[in-house]
Amino acid sequence: MITHGRKLDTPGLRQKLDRLYRDRFSTANDVEVDLDARVTEAPHQAWSLAAEAAERGVDRIIALGGDGLVNEVVNGILEGAPSREQRPELAIVPIGTANDFAYAADLPPELGAALSLALAGPARSVDLGRVNERCFLNVASGGPLSDAAARMQPNLKGLLGEVSYIVAALLELPRAEPMALRVRSGDWSWEGNAHAMIVGNGIRGGGGFELCPSALVNDGRLNLSIVPAELDFSAMVPLVTDRSLEQVEGVIYRPFTELELESDTDITVNLDGEPTVLSRAHVEVLPRALDLCLPRGSSVLQGPRLVA
């Protein structure tokens, strides 16, 4: 179990973790567990903790935090267990600011229920996305949206919470310089200026908005959404009012398994909220790369829902 150190003040979390570590079982399912709890004390430590746990051959890693901590844990698992057969399962207890993936996946918002599911719930194989050498579970986004999120001060993020990313981006949009993109996937290509580029394995990003409405985590593909620069501020208003890019006319959508991305200048791309700077990238899906604990009937799954 890996907990974000700055989230230990979440109401009731310390008490529940103390009880779990003392009793070493889930009272909801009477499943005995050998629980090793770790708390991050420095940035990016979750990555190394997850890699160490995967190397030791643990059965499941529980990530307590937001989308950024989950991203670190995912990459740590793949580093520590390069072989698919050796990778531990992943479970998520969402205690971050936006919890975009957890919300879309119908993970329990209540702490006790989320912990019980994470300890004893069933796991399902899911895809991951990869941008160059770094993976993501939910979304990768670039452009003014990502730039605003990367520059956001922690106090603003905490104050605005779920809408902070989109609000910050829209405030900057009228004066932001669009990014020049060249995108190629198979025999399809697009070139132009864009306000935003989103690659979705999951549906939801930006603090509560459907940015890739058709995305599913087990369909063997990723979904590209491009917001062309000719869309002005007024055209983007439905993104806030309806909380979905689907309601914004002129957005370009494209499913893919691999694509090449180029820009004339460096752009910031946020992978599950974790920023990286690049001017070109190979983006691909890693099908069924990880087993993820999900509730029955999770909205992010294709095909028959979980029944156990």
In angstroms, rounded to a whole number, what is the distance separating the alpha carbons of residues 13 and 109?
A: 13
Respond yes or no: is residue 274 known to be catalytic: yes
The 10 Å CB-count burial string (b at 16+, else e) for 99-120 is bbbbbbbebbeebeebbbbbbb
**What does the angle CA 129 – CA 268 – CA 171 come to, to the nearest 5 degrees?**
115
Q: Which of 3, 228, 236, 197 is nearest to 115 (CA)?
A: 3
In angstroms, rounded to a whole number, what is the distance separating the alpha carbons of residues 201 and 212?
A: 8
Q: What are 19's two structure tokens? A: 């009880």
DSSP tag of 104: H
Alpha-carbon dihedral 89, 95, 101, 105, rounded to 10 degrees? 70
Selecting among 72, 89, 274, 284, the annotated active-site residue is 274
Q: Which of 224, 208, 290, 293 is nearest to 257 (CA)?
A: 224
Question: β-strand 38-39 against 31-32: which pairing, if any?
Answer: unpaired
Q: Beta-strand (E) ranges in the chain?
A: 2-3, 25-26, 31-32, 38-39, 60-65, 89-94, 123-131, 134-136, 139-142, 179-185, 188-200, 204-205, 209-210, 222-228, 252-256, 258-271, 274-293
Active site residues: 274
